[in-house]
Structure 1
Amino acid sequence: MQAMRYDIILPTDYDMTIIRERVKKTGHLMDGFPDLLFKLFLISEKKNGEHSNSYSPLYVWKNSDGMSHFIFDGFFDNILTSFAWQQIEIGVTSTIALGDDFLQSQFVTEEVEEIPPTDSLKTFEIHEKSTENETGKLVIYNPDKWRKVIFTFYLTKPQTKHRCFEILHLSRG
C-alpha cells in the first residue's frame, strides 16, 4: 500500500471555517473511491496552539491505480484550482494498525524520524507498536528522503511535542 499527502500551509489570519465548510460539503465525495483504504481530511490551527494553520489531507491507497486515477483524472484539480500547485509526498506503508475505534478518531499526531546513513538497514525498525490511548498507528517510510513518518490516532487531543491535526472527516474506499 502507498500513502500520499500534501501539506497546504495557510496564512496565520486565514479563516479556517472556510476549510471546515469545504470538507463538510465535499468530504463525502471520497467515500467509496476506487482503491482507497482511507482518506483523512486534516487541519491544524495556530489559535489552538499548533505551529501553523494548515490543510493536510492524508490518503492510504490499496494500490497505485487508485492513486494515479485520483491525481491524473481530474480529482486533484480541485486542489490545484483552490490552492495552486502542491507537492505530493508519496511513501510506502510499513505499519497499518487500526483499532476497533479507529473510525471515531478525532486527532492524529505526526512524528518524523530521519533514517541515518548506515552500512545495513536490517536493524532499523520500520514498524511501530501501538501504545495506550491510541486508536491506530500508520507508519510510512520514504527511501528517497530517508525518513519515516509515524501517524498516531486518538479519540481526544493528546499532550504531545509532535505536530497534531484535527480530523474533520474520514473517507473509506
Structure 2
Amino acid sequence: MYAPIMIVMQYQLPLPSDYDVSTLRDRIPAIGARFDNLPGLGFKAFLLREQGVNGSPLNQYAPFYVWTDPAAAGAFLWDGASGGFTGVVGKYGRPAAQIWITGGYHRGAGFGAPVTHAVRVVTPVPADIDPAETATATRETVDKRLDEADLHSMTWAIDPRTWELLTFTMHTKRPDVSEGELYEVPYVSAPNETALQPA
C-alpha cells in the first residue's frame, strides 16, 4: 500500500535591488497566520533572500509549500479564494509555480525548535539512471542526516517533467552551505504537519 501523494510547490519572486526586505520580513507573520488552519496544507515555509546577506545575489521572496492533499494545492492556485494565489498574482504578477511529487518528509533531531533557515538543492537525475535508484540513494542520505542537531526537517521530491531531484532542509540555526540556495525563514505555517508521510 502506498502513502498518499504529497505535492511540493514553490514560486520564486525576485524583488527590486533597492527593495527594503525588512518591510516584508515584518509583514510575514501576519500573512502566515492566514495559513495556520488551511486544510490540505502540510506546511508553508516563508522564505526570503536578501541581496548581500548569506551570499545571496538578489532580493527574493520564495514561499515553499508541502501539500497533503493535491486537490487543496489546485484550489489554492485557481479557485480565487482570498489569501490564495490570486493575491500573489495581484501583487507580484503571475510567477511560474514549480511542482514536485514528494518522496518523503522527515523530522530531524532539531524538530520542535523554531526554524530560522532553509536550504534548497535541485540536482538533475541523470538520463541513464533509473529514478528508483535516485529515490533509494536519497532515502539513505536522509537517514544519515536526521541526527544532525540543528536539522528541523527534511523533504525530498522529484519533478518527473524535468527529472530533477529536490532536497529541502529546514534548520534551527544558520547552516554551513556548500551547495544550493540558503534562505532566511521568518515564519512557518504547519496546519497539517502530522499528516506528512515519510517514505
Q: TM-score, normalised by structure 2?
A: 0.81
Corresponding residue for residue 56 of structure 1 = 62
| Aligned residues of 2:109 and 2:151 also touching (Cα < 8 A) | no
Mapping of residues 106-117 of structure 1, within 5 Å: 106-117=116-127
Corresponding residue for residue 37 of structure 2 = 32
Q: Deviations over 1:52-109 (max 9, x none)?
A: 2110000110111111121112211110011011100011111201236435221111
Mapping of residues 79-158 of structure 1, within 5 Å: 79-99=88-108, 101-103=110-112, 104-118=114-128, 120-124=130-134, 125-127=137-139, 128-129=141-142, 130-131=144-145, 132=148, 133-158=150-175
Corresponding residue for residue 171 of structure 1 = 189
More deviation, 107-116/10-19 = 10-19
2:20 counterpart of 1:15: yes
Q: TM-score, normalised by structure 1?
A: 0.92
More strand by share: 1
Aligned Cα root-mean-square deviation (Å): 1.6
What is the one-letter code of the residue matched to 1:157? R
| Aligned residues of 2:7 and 2:68 also touching (Cα < 8 A) | yes
| Aligned residues of 1:94 and 1:126 also touching (Cα < 8 A) | no
| Aligned residues of 1:5 and 1:89 also touching (Cα < 8 A) | yes
Q: Deviations over 1:90-134 (max 9, x none)?
A: 111112012364352211111111111016334223434152232
Q: Deviations over 1:132-151 (max 9, x none)?
A: 23221111110101101111
2:62 counterpart of 1:44: no
Runs (5+) with no aligned partner, structure 1: none
Q: How many angstroms apart in 1 are the aligned matches of 2:155 and 2:58?
A: 23
> Percent same amino acid among aligned pairs?
25
Runs (5+) with no aligned partner, structure 2: 1-5, 192-199
| Aligned residues of 1:96 and 1:138 also touching (Cα < 8 A) | yes
Q: How many residues align?
A: 173
Q: How many angstroms apart in 2 are the aligned matches of 1:66 and 1:170?
A: 18
